[in-house]
A and B are shown apart, each in its own frame.
Chain A
């Protein structure tokens, strides 16, 4: 048995070696670099996601070899997550939905002159997450995808509830305000065509609202524009961040980030192989876990490096693991990977159980290219950090105009529609108000992205069980996750009660002693 596994691993290494050789053929290598650069650029631009970018490039690939095509499209897909971090950290304007959570602590780090380490650790984490995700694809794709299929709607629902519990508990400040923001996110998430019965809700007959209010447009406004409004209200200083600080993470940063990167890799990988999850959920879950693991959770939201390292790793691990169900079963888990599938199909390569058998050269070259792509992106990104951080030297009176333009273009690019520019502007105004009134943004953004998934999977679970709620306690994994969520919520209350009780005892004892 062990020998058998060893032989398989050896075979995989040989195949991977041949794949690597093929990647270094001039044409393949050229398109790998092109894909990585494009992905990085698309990640930097808010609004344009990798799905739209890949869609635009599919017709171009029809004149290339299938291998070079998919190498490039995959490069765009994973490269995007490297680029998305940059505007999140420097401008509080997330480039991609997966980088939304990075803005929370990343931007605070930049404000404190630690934008360099934030970007540096994001690149390192992304590299590790991406590499491990790809190794999972190379060495255990079939096993992972078969295992992931055991996760059904009820497990998925429970997992989402667990994620919400993790993030709502961690809210610093007023729990009532956090709860209100969470509910607001849920409510806005219900706008659009009902995911189950197909009936429009809260659309007021406006066909543009049928698909709901776009998450990215809201977030760009809420974070990016909201931040500008808050800043220009203050007396505009020449630069908000006078010192740029050290460019790379120091030893302490690396020590602090090691565990978050490891956990982020795992979280991203697991969610990546489940069809239907999104990388935004992976990064949120990682963030929630980090806050709950921290000795001092109050540091989060004020520039904790763990809040950048974990989520940025998770989203890259997610993206690369996303290839596993695609390559083994032909199941695309996200919109972007569905575009890669389209790219494969229009080049005559059909993903599924025979892909590894029938197209070994293609598969192993693409996998090897993904490993090499991670190295290329790391090498790109680390030296670039210095240049990106210089952006912060631009006087804010000029910089904010640039960011403003960025937010408008980003909102437009979401669906090439001016409607989302209005959505962004209105969200920006609310973002400003909420910030002034100290309402936290995190619970709002989280429920906005997770809410519709919770609803969909709750209803799907109940369809599967014909309306029996037993499905939530008869399936072990569902039960464990739901209990975990309950524990996450109850534990802080319990701790608080215990502390209060102890204080009472002590104070009564001291009173008794005094008397």
Chain B
């Protein structure tokens, strides 16, 4: 009797072990009590960080995790944080933000000696895509990209402020230079705010910025004027502003916030995370907050993001050689 009972208990426990074993490793993701860490490779309080912090609680609910935590790993223009991300275990408990084109231009630059590239990362989802625009101040004589190009062709010195070398804006002006076959002098500022000041103060002929936030207020007030939008479609907020493509320059540049993990994640975990991000981004409460903060939400599935990323990489490679021109 006693033995039988023992046998039954051990049989049950073995069965229990067998049942539990696989679920503990992969089947149950996220496991109870585990924290999903989202690396933000920028300082706390920046636009990217705030967006991430807004989204995190909705991801937590959607994926059913015990805890979702934002960890800031700033430094070297996101290189520090993304290096850590690429080196993390691909178990789905460490994911992070990879902003484009910043991530691409960092690893394409041999002097930066980055330890990662697209093959060392798993694209999970796109969260935000903000089109890049070419702007002038109200007093400028340019009304379109054509005016600016014609002036440059006529021998005038045209300077374009961007938020830093190989920033999205610099990539746009490099492409414009190439397509129009004209010299545009790049002026590298230290961020969007400095570029805005350069343009408003008439220190430069034009500048590249991103739509959204305070920039939109300056455009609506007429202090800034859009010469062209570097996207395939017109902008919802500024329906009358023409795209660069409509003016004969098919240039598509934006700055975007993708979420990635380390390479080698299992397909089931990837799908779980992507779906959870999608659910979180569809939550009306989150959408209201994001709209109030001026975020340009745009979701992409992993395969779409993979294509978007590699297309951008292909377009950027030839520009790397031009960057100092």
- Taking Cβ atoms with an 8 Å cutoff, the residues of A that contact B are 51-52, 54-56, 58-59, 149-153, 193, 195-200, 205, 207-208, 210-211, 275-276, 325, 329-333, 335, 338-339, 341-343, 345-348, 350-355, 415, 456, 459-460, 463-464, 466
Contact A58 B217 (CB under 8 A): no
Q: A55-B44, A275-B197, A345-B293 are in contact. Are A198 and B109 (CB under 8 A)?
A: yes
Contact B203 A152 (CB under 8 A): yes
Residues of B within 8 A of A211 (CB): 75-76
Q: How far is the CA of A275 from the CA of B199 in the complex (A)?
A: 13
Q: How far is the CA of A342 from the CA of B113 in the complex (A)?
A: 32
Q: How far is the CA of A52 from the CA of B46 in the complex (A)?
A: 11
* B164 interfacial contact with A, CB 8 Å: yes
Contact A58 B50 (CB under 8 A): yes
Contact A331 B43 (CB under 8 A): no
Contact A207 B76 (CB under 8 A): yes
Contact A350 B217 (CB under 8 A): yes
Which residue, of B79, B83, B186, B203, has the highest number of chain A Cβ atoms within 10 A? Answer: B203
Which residue, of B54, B186, B193, has the highest number of chain A Cβ atoms within 10 A? Answer: B193
Residues of A within 8 A of B83 (CB): 207
Contact B76 A210 (CB under 8 A): yes
- 22 pairs from A and B in contact (CB 8 Å cutoff): A51-B45, A55-B44, A55-B49, A56-B44, A149-B197, A198-B77, A199-B109, A207-B80, A207-B83, A210-B80, A275-B197, A330-B196, A330-B215, A330-B217, A331-B193, A343-B45, A351-B214, A415-B74, A459-B188, A460-B189, A464-B159, A466-B157
Contact B213 A345 (CB under 8 A): yes
* B297 interfacial contact with A, CB 8 Å: no
Residues of A within 8 A of B292 (CB): 347-348
Question: Which of B79, B202, B203, B217 meets A351, CB within 8 Å?
Answer: B217
* B211 interfacial contact with A, CB 8 Å: no
Q: How far is the CA of A456 from the CA of B194 in the complex (A)?
A: 12
Residues of A within 8 A of B111 (CB): 198-200
* B198 interfacial contact with A, CB 8 Å: yes
Q: A211-B76, A330-B218, A350-B214 are in contact. Are A151 and B201 (CB under 8 A)?
A: yes
Interface string of B32-72 (1 = CB under 8 A from A): 00000000000111110110011000000000000000000
Contact B198 A152 (CB under 8 A): yes
Contact A346 B54 (CB under 8 A): yes
Q: How far is the CA of A338 from the CA of B112 in the complex (A)?
A: 27
Closest 8 A/B residue pairs (Cβ): A330-B214, A352-B217, A55-B45, A149-B201, A210-B76, A348-B292, A55-B44, A353-B221
Residue of B nearest to A199 (CB): B111
* B166 interfacial contact with A, CB 8 Å: yes
Residues of B within 8 A of A329 (CB): 196-197, 200, 214, 218, 223
Residue of A nearest to B45 (CB): A55
Contact A463 B159 (CB under 8 A): yes
Residues of A within 8 A of B157 (CB): 466
Which residue, of A329, A351, A415, has the highest number of chain B Cβ atoms within 10 A? Answer: A329
Contact A463 B187 (CB under 8 A): yes
Closest Cβ of chain A to B137, distance in Å, is 9
Contact A345 B193 (CB under 8 A): no
Q: How far is the CA of A330 from the CA of B213 in the complex (A)?
A: 9
Q: How far is the CA of A210 from the CA of B194 in the complex (A)?
A: 22
Residues of A within 8 A of B164 (CB): 198
Interface size class, chain B = 35 or more
Q: A354-B221, A464-B203 are in contact. Are A196 and B197 (CB under 8 A)?
A: no
Question: Which of A193, A339, A460 meets B77, CB within 8 Å?
Answer: A193
Contact A456 B214 (CB under 8 A): no
Contact B218 A348 (CB under 8 A): no
Contact A58 B214 (CB under 8 A): no
Q: A59-B53, A332-B193 are in contact. Are A198 and B214 (CB under 8 A)?
A: no
Question: Which of A275, A341, A352 meets B218, CB within 8 Å?
Answer: A352
* B324 interfacial contact with A, CB 8 Å: yes
Residues of B within 8 A of A347 (CB): 292
Residues of A within 8 A of B216 (CB): 350, 352
Contact B43 A55 (CB under 8 A): yes
Further 16 A-B residue pairs, CB within 8 A, beyond A208-B75, A210-B75, A352-B216: A55-B49, A207-B79, A207-B80, A210-B76, A275-B194, A276-B190, A329-B200, A331-B214, A338-B193, A341-B214, A342-B46, A342-B50, A350-B213, A354-B221, A463-B188, A466-B185
Residue of B nearest to A453 (CB): B190
Residue of B nearest to A210 (CB): B76
Contact B165 A354 (CB under 8 A): no
Residues of B within 8 A of A205 (CB): 113
Q: How far is the CA of A220 from the CA of B75 in the complex (A)?
A: 21
Residue of A nearest to B197 (CB): A275
Q: How far is the CA of A400 from the CA of B157 in the complex (A)?
A: 60
Contact B45 A464 (CB under 8 A): no
Closest Cβ of chain B to A396, distance in Å, is 37
Contact A150 B188 (CB under 8 A): no
Closest Cβ of chain A to B20, distance in Å, is 37
* B232 interfacial contact with A, CB 8 Å: no
Contact A353 B200 (CB under 8 A): no
Segment 279-295 of B: residues with Cβ below 8 Å from A: 289, 292-294
Q: How far is the CA of A245 from the CA of B186 in the complex (A)?
A: 58
Residues of A within 8 A of B214 (CB): 329-331, 341, 350-352
Q: How far is the CA of A218 from the CA of B76 in the complex (A)?
A: 19
